[in-house]
Amino acid sequence: MQRLDVETKSKHYEILVDQDFLDLVPAIRGLDKDFSSYHVVSDDNVTPLYQREILDALAGFGKPVHGVTFPHGEKNKNLSTMEAIYQALIENGADRKSLIVALGGGVAGDMAGYAAATYMRGIAYIQIPTTLLSQVDSSIGGKTGIDFNGYKNIIGAFHQPELVYINTATLKTLPRGEFTSGMAEIIKHAMIKDAAYFDFLELERERVQALDHEVLTSMILRSCEIKSQVVSEDETEKGNRALLNFGHTAGHAIERLMDFRMLHGECVSIGMVAAARLSAAEGGFPPAEAERLVRLLEAYGLPLAVPDLSAESVYEELFHDKKTMGNTLTFALCRRIGDSYLSKGTLTKAQILEALDQVM
């Protein structure tokens, strides 16, 4: 088992990476808290795969153990699912000393985390992320929440977990497209912070794609480290946390224009290609490095363009992002692979359109 310490303003916790669930109970025991009951929240895809094993393990504490299952998918990350989760917590006797276990992808993590943030004004929770995206992204940073009336993640709270327990074997049941989509965030981490990590992703691609435990462990931990460093320097998203938006400015616009029919990581992949082109236009990002990015995305099976859209429509859509404060577009860009910065308002419409045109 490998571990990573995460230091946040409100909490210190560990991310553990293993290839089974055998150390979950010892890890929870190590928190040294006397939980009164355990509530495992997962969606209807993950419940039949992993919930029983977790419930059985937790039963070893000799306290009440309950499973809560909700219908999968982003479209269910909403208030009515939250109501059902609150109702289940009440019926199952959850109190201030209960532990919520978020088991599943980012949707389970965001919802179970938000339930934990709000139930009885906040109770403890742990994350057991089972998608690549949740293992390297959504389970870190303390953001929890739900969508509301078509606005993504508009209702939420910051709430840090007690522990994140990653079992790489869960990736074996994950649909391949979801795995590939998660790779986009990982490549993003390398692009914004770590050139040596980019080399690693190039060199180890076959073992990554074969789900080799050792390589996955190094990769997941390095990504967690990068995300948690960026976040801990900026916990409430006022400045440099926005570097994590590399590829996301255009990516989110594409995601919305495609009506969420493409996976998030696919849109981020295309957005990163656009950001690389913009970086070359604005900051002298070497074209050879942009080509390396393109080749790496392609090798991992990620898309490079979205021919169904026009640059003009994506440009318009950029201004509909809740992160577009005022009317200034902020782009995370790269000087070199592994070296990123935020560009505010210095890019012209023509430059942006030209970069977008290259991914249409």
- Applying CB under 6 A, what is the total number of residues that bind ligand NAD? 27
- Residue 11 among the catalytic residues: no
Closer of 19 and 153 to ligand NAD (Cβ): 153
> Binding to ligand NAD (CB under 6 A): which residues in 94-113?
104-108, 110
Site string for ligand NAD, 163-202 (x = CB under 6 A): -------x--xx---x------------------------
Are the CB atoms for 47 and 69 separated by under 8 Å?
Answer: yes
Closer of 183 and 337 to ligand NAD (Cβ): 183
The one-letter amino acid code at 97 reads K
- Residue 252 among the catalytic residues: yes
Contacts of 285 (CB under 8 A, 6+ apart): 276, 279, 333, 334, 335, 336
Contacts of 149 (CB under 8 A, 6+ apart): none
> Binding to ligand NAD (CB under 6 A): which residues in 111-170?
130-131, 133-134, 137-138, 141, 143, 153, 170
Contacts of 47 (CB under 8 A, 6+ apart): 67, 69
Alpha carbon 349 to chain centroid, angstroms: 30
User: For residue 277, what are the CA distances in angstroms to 188, 201, 267, 295, 348?
Assistant: 15, 21, 16, 14, 14
- Residue 264 among the catalytic residues: yes
Site string for ligand NAD, 28-67 (x = CB under 6 A): ---------------x-xx--x------------------
Residue with token string 């991992």: 300
Residue 75 marked in a binding site: no
Residue 173 marked in a binding site: yes
- Binding-site residues from annotation for NAD(+): 106-110, 130-131, 143, 152, 170-173
Q: Which residue ranges make up the annotated binding site?
A: 106-110, 130-131, 143, 152, 170-173, 185, 248, 264
Contact footprint for ligand NAD (CB under 6 A): 43, 45-46, 49, 72-74, 77, 104-108, 110, 130-131, 133-134, 137-138, 141, 143, 153, 170, 173-174, 178
Active site positions, annotated: 121, 143, 185, 227, 237, 241, 245, 248, 252, 264
